[in-house]
Amino acid sequence: MSVIVANGLTHWFGNEHALDSVDLVVDTGEHVAVLGENGAGKTTLLRILATAMRPTSGRLEIAGLDAHRERRRLRHYLGYTGHALGLYPALSAAENLEFFCELQGTPRSRIDEVLEAVGLAATAKRRAAQLSRLILDEPDASLGSDAAELLARVMDGRTVVLATHDRALANRLCPRTLELRHGRSVGTATRLRVVK
Amino acid sequence: MNKYEKAAAGAVALMLVAGAAIFFFAPTDYLQGPVQRIFYLHVSSAIAAYGCFAVVLVGGIIYLRTESPVADRFARAGALVGLVFTTVTLVMGMLWAKPIWGTFWTWDARLTSTLVLWMIYAGYLLVRRLSDPGRQSARLAAVVGIFGFIDVPVVHFSVTWWRTQHPGPIIVNDALPPQMLATFLFTLACTLVLAAVLIGIRYRIETALDARLNVSEPAKVIAAKREAEPAR
Amino acid sequence: MNPFNVAVAVARKDLRSEWRTREMVPALAQFIILALLIANFGFQIDSHNAPSIAPGILWLALVFAGLVAFGRTFAAERDQASLEAMLLTPASPVAIFAGKAIAASLLLIVCEAVMLPALSLFFGTPLGADMVAAVLLATVGMAALGCLFAALVARVRARELLLPLLTLPLWIPFIIAGGQAVQSAMGLPGSYPEAIGLLIDFDILFVVLTSLAARFVLDE
């Protein structure tokens, strides 16, 4: 069952072409890695998938709903971690978690569960608790050496789209990859095939 | 000549006729002298300016509801033309005020609210220029336009109210003999025609600018294609 | 997570952040002290003209302090990422906006609590509940407008130029009515009840309008 259907996603920043007709279909429970160099359009694509941004043109449906019109509803189920941490440095990790739980509608009891499940890396996983679909933009950037195990545990059982430079990590975690170059998708591959 | 050039020529011709009426048909004011003739164009400009702002308001509201690029372009065109008319109003007002009141400026309701109008227009155009072109720029500017349109009468009312608390010496005599009234109405009509033509021309320019900027129409529905499923 | 709880949570979070970092209140306090000092040396103030000059100083200081306070609620780069994080939750953008506006107003009110007594102390003007009421009512409306436009210009370049240009025309009715209310409270001619009535009307009008506009400004 397809939970994310993206069609012809195109995005312009002024006169600069960030994404050029990208198509993507993700089924429930699938883990997809988006690969590409800096500037290839990974962050733009992920932000669009997370409903943080609207594409200049193209169509996106999540769980059968139009991603823009129903974005408030969809945000119940979407989790996104981006480049900037979006946290409050003046507040403790627990306070940050409590705050976002309040906004997300997650019961506080889940905070302890989450902290236990991921050890000290709670800051990067603040909303993983209740969310079934995750969009992760270079999550390994702020994690330590056991990033892969951590991510695998978080990703288990959920639909995940992940962006990274690290092809080895991507291959380990995600059976499917989508490669972007200059905003265009240059192919999808299965695990173990290294795409240049 | 294409239709825009014809319309422009027509509007200019009308304004010249109005000018002739102002100088040769309308009588000289007994109290104020020849300076009073500024009044015809000054007030017509003010009304045209506020009318253009109404275009900005309506365009903005329609844009927020429907994301129609046409509505947005009219709003942009209205803002630019309106700024020009507001500037003309302010300058003519100052030219008239100096000989009549002895000062270029006074903070009465009309002048203050015209200045506010000018600031809001300038803010609107700056917001457009300085934000990411496309949807963001249109949306933010629409909000500015809506608040601005409501603010101008609120400011006018506030200053009028304040004057009731502190009565001042400024009294403007609004009684007009029939020849002056006729001249004024004619000038007003010509000015409004000029404003409409200017907005139309500017709309065309904005359309051309949009095309260059890759600002797209709202997303069209494309049949979904499935990716080839890898065997897992 | 009903909108009221969201607004309260956001306001608490902003206030707690400010309490821990203490960035804004010293800047605002400095502002106000400077305004009072300059007024003292810039104007020839004696007990006769104090009531006619003091309200002007009060509003001047409040407007500039307000621009700083509301401008900062949405300005900082990290605030942009945090704002986006908040918007990606199911919480209503209007509730988030309300929370931030409430927090910013409370900070401004703290400064007003310092400024009004200081004004009274230095210039000998009376200080009573009627003055406090006038200032508080004006703060509400000014906060709603200031925060909305701060959020708007946060996405635009040259925001230090644009924020005053857009906000001041909208604050003029509040300055007029609030100024009159404060003057009346200090014994000058003019109707205090009418001025307060106007402030309440403006508050209602602009709080409703900004609430409606918030979602267009904050969310895509």
Please give, rounded to a whole number of angstroms, the shortest distance from the CA of A109 to a CA of chain B. 37
The side-by-side arrangement of strands in the sheet containing A65-66 is A16-27, A2-13, A57-62, A65-66
pLDDT tier, B73 (very low <50, low <70, confident <90, very high otherwise):
very high
Is A111 part of a structural domain of the chain?
yes
Q: What is the mean pLDDT of residues A106-131?
A: 53
Nearest to B76 by CA among B141, B144, B152: B141
Is B166 part of a structural domain of the chain?
yes
Q: Beta A31-35 vs A176-181: how paired, if at all?
A: parallel
Q: Domain count for chain C, please give it.
A: 1
Q: How far apart are CA A10 and CA A15, in angstroms?
A: 12
State pLDDT tens for residues A24-71.
888 887 777 777 777 677 788 888 888 888 888 888 888 888 888 888
Is B148 part of a structural domain of the chain?
yes
Q: Which residues of C touch A87 (CB under 8 A)?
A: 82, 85
Q: Is B214 on the interface with A (CB under 8 A)?
A: yes
C73 burial class (0-12, 13-18, 19+ CB within 10 angstroms)? buried
Q: Domain count for chain B, please give it.
A: 1
Q: Domain count for chain A, please give it.
A: 1
Please give, rounded to a whole number of angstroms, the shortest distance from the CA of C104 to a CA of chain A. 17
State pLDDT tens for residues A88-105.
666 666 677 777 777 777
DSSP SS3 for C205: helix
pLDDT tier, B217 (very low <50, low <70, confident <90, very high otherwise):
very low
What pLDDT score was predicted for residue A131? 54
Closest in C89, C219, C220 to A104, CB measured = C89
Q: Do C82 and A54 touch (CB under 8 A)?
A: no
Q: Beta A78-81 vs A133-137: how paired, if at all?
A: parallel
CA distance to A94, A101, A129, A132, A158, per residue, from A112 (Å): 9, 12, 10, 18, 20
Range of weakest confidence among A61-70, A180-189, B5-14: A180-189
Is B223 part of a structural domain of the chain?
no
pLDDT tier, C109 (very low <50, low <70, confident <90, very high otherwise):
very high
- As a whole number, the mean pLDDT across chain A is 69
Task: Give me the CATH number covering residue A169.
Answer: 3.40.50.300
**Model confidence at C153: pLDDT above 60:** yes
Is B142 part of a structural domain of the chain?
yes
What pLDDT score was predicted for residue B87? 96
What pLDDT score was predicted for residue A191? 30
Please give, rounded to a whole number of angstroms, the shortest distance from the CA of B164 to a CA of chain C. 9
What pLDDT score was predicted for residue A135? 67
Tell me which residue range forms the domain holding C112.
Answer: 3-218
Range of weakest confidence among B19-23, C101-105, C163-167, C209-213: B19-23
Q: State the chains in contact with B (3 or more Cβ–Cβ pairs under 8 Å).
A: A, C
pLDDT tier, B169 (very low <50, low <70, confident <90, very high otherwise):
low
What pLDDT score was predicted for residue C208? 96
Is A43 part of a structural domain of the chain?
yes
- As a whole number, the mean pLDDT across chain B is 83
Smallest CA–CA distance from B137 into chain C, residue: C156
Q: Which of A58-67, B65-74, B101-110 has the highest mean pLDDT?
A: B65-74
Q: What is the mean pLDDT of residues C131-138?
A: 94
- As a whole number, the mean pLDDT across chain C is 87
State pLDDT tens for residues A127-172.
444 455 566 666 655 555 556 666 666 666 667 777 777 777 777 7
Tell me if the pTM is above 0.95: no
What pLDDT score was predicted for residue A190? 35
Tell me which residue range forms the domain holding A88.
Answer: 30-52+72-190
pLDDT tier, C123 (very low <50, low <70, confident <90, very high otherwise):
confident
Structure tokens at C64: 């500039």
Tell me which residue range forms the domain holding B90.
Answer: 3-212
What pLDDT score was predicted for residue B124? 95
